[in-house]
Structure 1
């Protein structure tokens, strides 16, 4: 009964959010454990799947939202913004949260190089390449499946390479060569690029990778491997490393013959790649002019695993893939499940899964009737109720009573104004109107520095 009551409360809250125009999802439905086809949710044209339980940002949703909100930005600027959001600079949760709040309210400072006029590729667009000459059983379907469930690192690099965005070179993803499927392949340069996650750190996997690379090189390919972390930290370094291995950039052909000077501003000395003018600009995380251009999502039972701690907040609210609100709801049928217990539960979450709270703007606790809201640094005494829905009305609290009440559970009405409602209903209806919520986040969140700590 206890679990059923709490589940019912979660579903009631999700129903309210749907009424506000938010999308909703059940946490396990977007978990990394599910097969890729079940992860595809056509919401705002995005793919909100998670690579693992440590990922607290829905990167696919965020990337697509940034493209919509900042249509004038080149892909490298969008990826730079994504990288800055995902990286934490400090061991302090509060410092990281303050840094993110600045990005959310002021935009993310990026720089990119204005692309030169398109030039013809020195080796053409249709050069032949080795694909084995036949299809090994199951490999074609395996490649398709891998494309559908790319890791976040693979997705990021593909967006930077696709459609000849890098040096006008044609790259293919999850490409079959002989008995292998490589992450990225450029036939024009006989170049293989592999991205390695933690699984590649084992001795057995390293031995397999070595044998694989030797085979690919025996076919005349250059093989480059990068760790996922290298890509997230500096995509530009990855591009420079790739460019350093390109024969056409260095003025040498496949057989060592001299080639004409590169059309991309790099001479035969190979001293560097010229990407032309450096532009400084801002990428915005929120669309304040068209609220429907943002991605609004409420998820219940959102599992996060960090430092071997497995925690599952009741409801997490995402705007453009960013987890801005965490809600902890207690069973209204359990007398021991109090607001204070919900508050303490959030403090445990902050200790055990701090990455989720790096992006937090608001915390909500409720026992089904009473509800309080606070921020990341709020103590118990600073969690407060919300008494209005429209701003022009006032909903008085309900107080415990010894006498029966038609509303059940021994509650009676107190105060004057609009007819009383459960505080959770008033809070969610009042705070999470889309316009009002963004107004709260952008204009009513304040960080204070007392010289010793950030509050």
Structure 2
């Protein structure tokens, strides 16, 4: 990002921060105000759960137990796959939202394949059975995708209820979860965030069937990992555009949000930089990082 672009982005971020403060008293919030600000800067819709609860915004979620925003998913799939009949879209959504295993990582690996390779469907057309694919994301036309951030998101599963701080939805699918904690000792803080993630994985696992990235933030410090990352494997991100090192003074939070969640880069990371390894006993999910992305 050159100096002129940085100045323009900073001005825009300050304007959006003021707008967010008018909607919500961010001083009472555990997350850094700049976290939501940067998501709006890069073009996401940011909704606060009170807005949703009061009916101001419609997200297509009928209960706290639902983690997929079906209305948004249905609308996005029709936009991405305009030539596919309603039957094909319905069958694709059914495949995406129905789990085949009790194992979270196996379900996550299956979903990732659907996300990157498309959903195979068959339907009747002109009295013939057609075998086709429905795509869940559109990497070539970013405007066909629905980019949404919700803070926080209440999720109920069984006897447990939790409120992850930020959930990032692409086309109604919860692809990233961000946990924010208050600062104390740096290492203890990020480990505490990791322990919260472990609790969520155990008690509300259905939210993480669709997860691509996990992020832990502490004010302007930030770390990223996957479902199988140990807490030491949650690392900062050190570049925005993937080529140049960041401008002096840019925070870890700013770099990570713009570096990973930039719309085109986010889809590229999903497609090309997520790898599942299996030894026949366990599954390991890895985010492939170029060295300069995680090492200063």
TM-score bin, normalised by smaller chain: 0.7 to 0.9
User: Which deviations, in whole Å up to 9, do the C-alpha atoms of 1:253-286 show, x marking residues without a partner?
Assistant: xxxxxxxxxxxxxxxxxxxxxxx21101000000
- The separation in 1 between residues aligned to 2:274 and 2:234, in whole angstroms, is 14
CA contact (8 A) 2:30 2:181 kept: no
Q: Report the equivalent of 2:43.
A: 21
User: Which deviations, in whole Å up to 9, do the C-alpha atoms of 1:208-257 show, x marking residues without a partner?
Assistant: xxxxxxxxxxxxxxxxxxxxxxxxxxxxxxxxxxxxxxxxxxxxxxxxxx
Structure 2 gaps of 5+ residues are: 1-24, 285-296
Q: Flag the 1:434–1:450 CA change in 2: closer, same or farther, 3 A.
A: same
Q: 5 Å matches for 1:83-122?
A: 83-115=94-126
Q: Report the equivalent of 2:157.
A: 306
The CA RMSD measured in Å over matched residues stands at: 1.8
CA contact (8 A) 2:32 2:219 kept: no
Q: Report the equivalent of 2:261.
A: 432
* Cα drift, residue 381 of structure 1: 2.2
SS of residue in 2 equivalent to 1:97: helix
- The separation in 2 between residues aligned to 1:65 and 1:287, in whole angstroms, is 9
CA contact (8 A) 1:315 1:328 kept: yes
- The separation in 2 between residues aligned to 1:306 and 1:430, in whole angstroms, is 32
What TM-score comes out, normalization by structure 2 length?
Answer: 0.83
Instruction: Write 1 or 2 for the structure with the bigger share of helix.
Output: 2
Q: Report the equivalent of 1:454.
A: 283
Structure 1 gaps of 5+ residues are: 42-46, 116-275, 396-417
Q: Report the equivalent of 1:49.
A: 60
* Cα drift, residue 30 of structure 1: 2.6
Q: Flag the 1:113–1:10 CA change in 2: closer, same or farther, 3 A.
A: farther
Count of matched residue positions in the alignment of Structure 1 and Structure 2: 259
CA contact (8 A) 2:190 2:231 kept: no
* Cα drift, residue 368 of structure 1: 1.3
Q: Report the equivalent of 2:69.
A: 58
CA contact (8 A) 1:62 1:321 kept: yes
- The separation in 2 between residues aligned to 1:380 and 1:11, in whole angstroms, is 25
Q: 5 Å matches for 1:261-410?
A: 276-332=127-183, 334=184, 338-395=189-246
- The separation in 1 between residues aligned to 2:50 and 2:173, in whole angstroms, is 18
What TM-score comes out, normalization by structure 1 length?
Answer: 0.55
Q: Report the equivalent of 2:15.
A: none
* Cα drift, residue 335 of structure 1: 5.2
